[in-house]
Structure 1
């Protein structure tokens, strides 16, 4: 009895001991996870959203933001997700102690340093996402230990080195994304062992070698994308055995070979075939029509030959056919049969057949294409005949390129039906007849190119409705009559070219409306009369060609006001008289006044000092100038007349001067008396606006008592609110309330008032009014009222994670070009076209605001400086500033005590420009140990230019491609080369080495013009 009782007791003790091991207490494992999370937090150096502020002992760590624990092990962390939190610092190796971790996601933050090799200890890990961080170093080979991994996403970091072969051990991988890094070397053949892989992206790296044939083992693969690398060789035949393929992208490499004839059978599920910018040859296989889900064929810039298969018309989802810059052919009506069949593709949006070897005429069936078609290009082929009227059926077109061919006949009236058309290029053909009055409906047109044709008759006045036109070229035709006043569009900002026609009459006085135009070419016409004095209204004009006309009279003195003018050609006219004195002070780089009747002494300053930049031949009465001109000496009789005239002037002005002194003395004492009398009535800040003044109560009501709902943003010296006020239309305005508790706040108010008082420009933020009063507490109150910018600052567009109020939308390449030009034009105005030069001193994305039409406006003049001595070299007339501006954008000389200068602004603009086109902020934490944004860009320029630009510039909402990719690929590359090159010129260490902003505006516009064709 006793023995059985003893045995029973022992069994019960054993059971109790076993159960005690299963009771959920504060175990050692629990402490390990808690310690690991706290170690992670300790290495987070930046947490602007206070996400980790609650990571403390007040709540259990499984309830911390971003942390999830398991069901079966409620104290063990299974998920750590902290995406888009603006977190910075380094990733702690202690995360490897979260041994139950299944998901690690820290995407779209600012973590730097390296990926800890210790992450390879997380053998239970199913998913790791560290994308969108500036992580450096190598991809840890230890990730191969995480054999249960399903997803790896390391997109858009700064990872270097090769792709570790150990990743081939992760045989359960479903997605592998290594896009937008700096990876080199070959694609490891062992990756062909990842037989569960659905998504495979290695695009935008520096990978070399050939595509391994072992990837053909990935039989369930749906997407492969290795665009923008340095791969060569042929596409392995084994890849065409992956019948599940949906997205097949190998663009921007150096791949060779041809496509297999049975590609359609190989890829029955294919949706996108993107192969442009390679060296592929052979024919486009007819079997591609078996890919019934196909929506995009992008094979431009290769060496494809033969005909385009008519069977493409069976692809009901087809939206894009971009096969320009190949050797494709079509000669007979039968060859053009594919156009007939494409009428069945009701979703077609892009048809780009330019730069091939097409011949014959444009088929009438082109009018049966989808009304969704917005881009049509047939240019640079051997196509002849007339433009079919049925093109007017394509009411969705925004861009037509039929240039550089053999087209003849008139411009069809039916083009007037294309009311949303933005660009039409019919240049370099033999089109005849008159310019039809079809432009009444084309109110969205921004580019019109009809040059080098056989057009006759007058320029129609109906073109006055094209109020969005930025560039128009009607040169090299047979146009007659006067230049209509109606075509002097204020919107023209790039070029107006009417050269090589038979135009007559005077230059319209309305030329002054071309305030923003950069180039005017009227050469080789029959224009006559004098140049109107209103021409100085062309404030930013850089090049003016009036040569080979019948102009006469003397040059207006207003020429001297055209401070942006760099090229002036007046040759082969009948101009007379002396050159105006002001021409000596202009910033001309080329001047041709040859074969006129100019007389008198040639100036010796400015452009006249460079004998290679000036042509004065054919003016027998010109004399003097620098000796190298070898002109005759100015005769004594003329000099004597001048002396006599000067004596008379001296006597007259001496008399006037004495009288003026007497008047000034009287005025002095009168003003002194008035100043004493009205001293208390005078404003303390000296700003005189012509607009309606507002009170504190007006602003208080307009902002709903400075409600947080109306808060737009906070700055170093004030707060900006959105308000509704009856000042100008629209009634929505922005109110900047200065922080007068900050000593610099009042000074900022005075500076902004002074800067904004006398400047007006379309690319500067418009000030509407001001307020200097006291608030309800009797405290000083100062505010400025500006035009409201509904699209916010450039900062929120370049770095969208900084703005949660607006969904992601990438800026396209052309939008970034427009913004860069707008900002450069504003700086040019501030530096060269005001009463005194103004240095902004704080140019950065947050101070560039975008209106409803995405036009950029430079704002925040709180740190601006005025350079008083207008005619002295800017760098010597600057005012001492100390260090002004924002870290990352401040020129290096400011940090050494140098003075504010226009060259300093140019440096800041260069940084801004590089940020616009690379998407990288100069204050990113990757820029340490002497590395900077300019140095990073320079190290990749020019060979790796496409690797450093922001690839979001080819995206719109949802990540879809914009129309920008339909530009010629070489044009995109050349445009980016030009922009980045000149951006680096702005960022030179030595101020004198930096490019002048006026020169930069010209280069930017030229690059944009070439990009748009």
Structure 2
């Protein structure tokens, strides 16, 4: 036997015509060497893997009956980290490889395709980032199960996957697969399970999938798929699970889908754009478990037949346009009492009318979630709801429900969330609600409740959120609810008739928002509020509070909003308020205060340096407020929700996608107010996205300049998957990015693109923006990622810098500016990064100047720094430099040259125009010197560029790309 041995990064790879248990052992030992286990409480789970024993006795290893070869390897659930050794490919008799539920990283090696006998390949629930499957995928012709779900794989689905003729299970969900679904999948007749959910797939569902007559599961949820679902999909009578939720499918669901898919147990079509009626035939599938159609555009009534579904677990038709009809229109709720296993019922967000039937209490004793909010229910809340003993969430908000809160709700021992807000409920809050000791959210706001807040609310030892605002509650604030240690989100008692003094609130150390505004509270503001160290919003306006503002409020370092307006406060404004470094709204108006707002607070609020303090006399008392030119302290930022952005961008559709960056995607959107905006959605799973979000907010909140893209607002929320959602909303600039213009993807007035004057003006706009950031911003800012794709143009071709996701603030240290960032991570984009960043230098203004110089050279040469011609050590700077001393014309963008020459190289003013470009190229060269100390400052660059423009304006006016003019004896002459 001849062995050929290759050494590759300590991985022993063996190829041979005859492999044995010995080579299997070596491959497994190599595999073990790259695996680590973080559990130090016990011995290594692979401690039995030793050179002194047979692999057939090792943990997780299975051999054939003669112990000649390893046929199975199961290392699932051990929590291993590390990489998968390419030596895995030497286990050529392996039939089953199960590595799921670990923390393996890196790539799935291509050597996997050497496992010709493999039938089961399960690598799900790891952290693999790529899959290196070459064209010899056909080698795995025995493969029956391929499960790569729950990794971080970024790839297309290989087109030649259809060569796996015996494949039955294909699970690729919860990754980052992109592109379209291969039509060739329709050729794998053995397929029973296709699970592609939670990826970035686009396009339509291939009609070829209609040939898969053995298909049991088709899961395409949470992708970017679109179009009408092909009718052939509804003919796959073997389907048990059909899940197309969270895409952009449209059209009508066949009303007879239940007849065509008689084996269906799961029907999940929610979060799409389906129209038409609820398919009534689904109510005839007596074995069905899940029916989900929420968040579509369905109309009509709820079809009859819901009483036929004894095994139903979930019924969700929320957020459609479903209506009721007739006297017994809500009888479908009664029909569901036959579904004795029902756990989830959602009919919210429709147009259902009528009185909730008392029979609702006869629903399944397993029911845990009941959503009925956002309809037109009237009458009172049935007391029978108290019989739903397993209920964890009850939402009846935003209806027209009247009457009192039934005391029987206090019997719901498992209840965790109670939403009755936005109704016409009257009477007192029953003391029995205090029995709900598992409650963590309660919202009774916007009703007509009277009397006192029950002392029994002090029993809510798990409460996170309480909103009792906009009622007619009276009496004092019970001290008991201010002693709830878990209350960490919101305590809102505003817009009531509460009186008395504010009790000590120091036992709410994690509360984020306290709103006691619009009541009749009197006395002093308790200093103990300073113990609420997590407080972000404190709203006490429109009360009768007196005394001075406690100095201790200055200890609330995370406070963003402080509204004490319209009270009887007196004395001086505490200087300690200057410690509130993240404050963005301060309202002290309509009090008897005197003195100046601390300057640090004014600056924190991001008001103009030109801010003034308005002092005026009233009843001989001095009152102080801060004002901008509009007479307001600071207009409150536009508040925007995830749902508003989802609607504005049409479900973040591909049609509205206008750009993809390092940390997210940008969509064009139309707000309900009529504004057109650009919505940057951060990819919260991508490392660094959260830092990017905060960097952009921090850089932009105090920056105001005509050449900076205006940040309108931000959104920090959760999406419909309950995942973190971060977005920044910017003004929309209709002329796209400078990159589009340089690469010829846009035209302006003619086919030649940007003319000379437009390019010069763009260069000056960008330079002026950097000059502001470096020299005139209160805290100097470096952009760190200046490039043409981050320079946008409005309808007047004014250039504005955007994308401050890598921006860094600078502080002064002696005479030098240094970055506040302590990281040495390389920042920027390849081709635009200054050389010193590669040496570990921190971001600096000189670094931005270098990037600007590259942009300038690209703008006038038409070549990107990554152009294919720049090889063998040649760069855009060296290329321009080589022509700079001889013929600059050689490096000028040919499109620009055609405008300059106008097809007549003998024109007399050509040299003047070339001289102007030559001067601008010189600025670019001065900005891109290797040594940052030798580069010119951005303010010098602005001055030189404006001088070039002035020279150009004196010689010709070429703003029109089709005509040129000269000034002859002060008269404009067209040529």
The within-5 A match list for 1:275-424 is 275-424=269-418
Separation in 2 of the partners of 1:174 and 1:936? Answer: 40
Check if 1:148 corresponds to 2:136. no
Distance change >3 Å, CA 141–CA 351, structure 1 → 2: same
Deviations 1:891-936 (A, max 9, x none): xxxxxxxxxxxxxxxxxxxxxxx99x74xxxxxxxxxxxxx93279
Separation in 2 of the partners of 1:551 and 1:257? Answer: 59
The within-5 A match list for 1:777-788 is none
1:75 to 51, 68, 71: 68
Contact 1:45–1:88, Cα closer than 8 Å, also in 2: no
The within-5 A match list for 1:672-711 is none
Q: Which is further off, 237-246 or 132-141?
A: 132-141
Separation in 1 of the partners of 2:230 and 2:147? Answer: 26
Report what 1:591 is aligned to. Answer: 586
Q: Give the secondary structure class of the aligned counterpart of 1:544.
A: strand
Check if 1:128 corresponds to 2:121. yes
Deviations 1:599-644 (A, max 9, x none): 456654434885689997766433899999999xxxxxxxxxxxxx
The within-5 A match list for 1:874-913 is none
Report what 1:511 is aligned to. Answer: 505
Kindly state the Cα deviation for residue 123 of structure 1 after the two structures are TM-superposed: 3.6
Deviations 1:137-191 (A, max 9, x none): 4433422233322222222344444323333233322211222333233222232
Distance change >3 Å, CA 473–CA 183, structure 1 → 2: closer
RMSD of equivalent CA atoms: 3.9
Distance change >3 Å, CA 567–CA 110, structure 1 → 2: closer
Report what 1:933 is aligned to. Answer: 687
1:107 to 100, 116, 122: 100
Give TM-score scaled by structure 1 length: 0.58
Distance change >3 Å, CA 256–CA 517, structure 1 → 2: same
Q: Give the secondary structure class of the aligned counterpart of 1:480.
A: strand
Separation in 1 of the partners of 2:612 and 2:383? Answer: 49
Contact 2:193–2:218, Cα closer than 8 Å, also in 1: yes
Separation in 2 of the partners of 1:624 and 1:339? Answer: 59
Separation in 1 of the partners of 2:250 and 2:629? Answer: 58
The within-5 A match list for 1:237-636 is 237-491=231-485, 492-508=487-503, 510-587=504-581, 588-599=583-594, 603-607=598-602, 620=618, 621-622=621-622
2:725 to 976, 982, 989: 976
Kindly state the Cα deviation for residue 342 of structure 1 after the two structures are TM-superposed: 0.3
Distance change >3 Å, CA 986–CA 243, structure 1 → 2: same
Unaligned 5+ runs, structure 2: 1-14, 38-43, 632-681, 697-716, 731-802, 812-818, 823-975
Deviations 1:929-974 (A, max 9, x none): xxx93279979x99xxxxxxxxxxxxxxxxxxxxxxxxx9845568
Contact 2:258–2:282, Cα closer than 8 Å, also in 1: yes
Kindly state the Cα deviation for residue 486 of structure 1 after the two structures are TM-superposed: 2.8
Report what 1:47 is aligned to. Answer: 35
Distance change >3 Å, CA 575–CA 374, structure 1 → 2: same
Q: Which has the higher helix share?
A: 1
Contact 1:597–1:619, Cα closer than 8 Å, also in 2: no
Kindly state the Cα deviation for residue 477 of structure 1 after the two structures are TM-superposed: 1.5
Separation in 1 of the partners of 2:690 and 2:499? Answer: 55
Distance change >3 Å, CA 969–CA 314, structure 1 → 2: farther
Unaligned 5+ runs, structure 1: 1-26, 632-913, 919-931, 943-967, 997-1013
Q: Give the secondary structure class of the aligned counterpart of 2:128.
A: coil
Distance change >3 Å, CA 608–CA 56, structure 1 → 2: closer
Distance change >3 Å, CA 462–CA 268, structure 1 → 2: same
Report what 2:929 is aligned to. Answer: none
Kindly state the Cα deviation for residue 328 of structure 1 after the two structures are TM-superposed: 1.4
Separation in 1 of the partners of 2:612 and 2:318? Answer: 43
Separation in 2 of the partners of 1:447 and 1:319? Answer: 25
Q: Which is further off, 43-52 or 185-194?
A: 43-52
Deviations 1:536-585 (A, max 9, x none): 34333332222222222333444444444332222222222333443444
Contact 2:30–2:85, Cα closer than 8 Å, also in 1: no
Q: Which is further off, 494-503 or 524-533?
A: 524-533
Kindly state the Cα deviation for residue 338 of structure 1 after the two structures are TM-superposed: 1.0
Deviations 1:88-109 (A, max 9, x none): 33442672x5444322334345
Kindly state the Cα deviation for residue 351 of structure 1 after the two structures are TM-superposed: 1.0
Separation in 1 of the partners of 2:593 and 2:381? Answer: 48
Distance change >3 Å, CA 623–CA 324, structure 1 → 2: closer
Check if 1:211 corresponds to 2:205. yes
Q: Give the secondary structure class of the aligned counterpart of 1:231.
A: strand
Separation in 2 of the partners of 1:505 and 1:420? Answer: 34
Contact 1:986–1:995, Cα closer than 8 Å, also in 2: no
Kindly state the Cα deviation for residue 82 of structure 1 after the two structures are TM-superposed: 3.5
Contact 1:594–1:618, Cα closer than 8 Å, also in 2: no
Distance change >3 Å, CA 195–CA 497, structure 1 → 2: same
Give TM-score scaled by structure 2 length: 0.60
Distance change >3 Å, CA 310–CA 540, structure 1 → 2: same
Deviations 1:634-687 (A, max 9, x none): xxxxxxxxxxxxxxxxxxxxxxxxxxxxxxxxxxxxxxxxxxxxxxxxxxxxxx
